[in-house]
Amino acid sequence: MIAGSPDDSEKGQFIENYVKSDNLINLVGKTTMAELIELIRHCHIYISADTGPLHIANALKKPLIALFGTTSPHRTGPYGGSHVHLIISPTSKATPEQPLVDDPDCMAQIPVDAVWDVYSEMLRKRFVMELDYKRIVVTFLMHLGDVVLTTPFLEVLRKAAPHSHITYVIDEKLQDVMKYNPYIDDLITVDKKGRHNSIKGLNEIARRINEQGRPDIVINLHPNERTSYLAWKINGKVTTGMSHFLFRPFMTQYTRLDRKTRHAADMYINVLEQLGVTDVSNHGLHIETLQRME
């Protein structure tokens, strides 16, 4: 999510056009001051150059990445706090004696990877989600191949949460693929092209899941409208994973799917990595068609 003043609207539109992704919400020039303060209050991590909103985020004690180049952080940087992470341009000539320099190009010299590395580390430390001894619901209403590719994810999840009750929500016609999966405790099926192909039908699934009590964690693995709505309607104490942009503001933690650099199976496992899971070793794809003999 990007924000800024009306003077920055053209820059915000340029970024939106360049990124071309539903993951980006452009609010540049679209908020009042009060709305901007509340937007910052509810963000997980705030990234900014030396601007007024930077100091609002600092006053609100938000985890903060502050980018400096043309100004000196010794004079106008964030005022104290372990939640602040400074990144200074390697070509910055700003000093306490000369706190403002006319060198806008120096900001472009801040490596993207440097910002990303700090962000990833902050995210890892901030979001180490406790998964064990929980009621966990995984929502995934995709196709046959996609479902099979989530089996390593389920193995990693079970290792991270050996005492949790894990429910997998799946397209009804694919239930035999997961019926005897050893890493899940319950299978909820959705007739997504039939009787559950409506808001009412999805609400029925959500009510069924909640009959055993409100889930502790809902992990949604696909951002389409149907699955995102269901994940939201289940109303877990924590809702995480992917989501359609309409439901993203209601999520406890949104995790991106790395579609560009990872195999699809690893892409789903990476959701757990973003939640703080470090042991992602697994035995690959897994299907059982008969229940194991005890």
pLDDT above 70 for 196: yes
Prediction pTM value: 0.63
8-17, 81-90, 151-160, 203-212: range with lowest mean pLDDT: 81-90
For the chain, give the mean pLDDT.
Answer: 92
**pLDDT tens sequence across 42-88:** 888 999 999 999 999 999 999 999 999 999 999 989 987 778 899 99
Give CA separation, 158 vs 6, 72, 134, 135, 277, in Å: 48, 49, 11, 12, 11
Residue type, 6: P
Half-sphere exposure of 135 (CA within 13 A, CB side): 13
Give the pLDDT of residue 259. Answer: 87
Q: What is the pLDDT of residue 144?
A: 97
Please give the Cα distance from 210 to 54 (Å, whole number): 41
| Highest mean pLDDT, choosing among 5-19, 86-100, 150-164, 249-263 | 150-164
Of the pLDDT bands very low, low, confident and very high (cuts 50, 70, 90), residue 127 is low
Query: Is residue 96 scored above 80 in pLDDT?
Result: yes
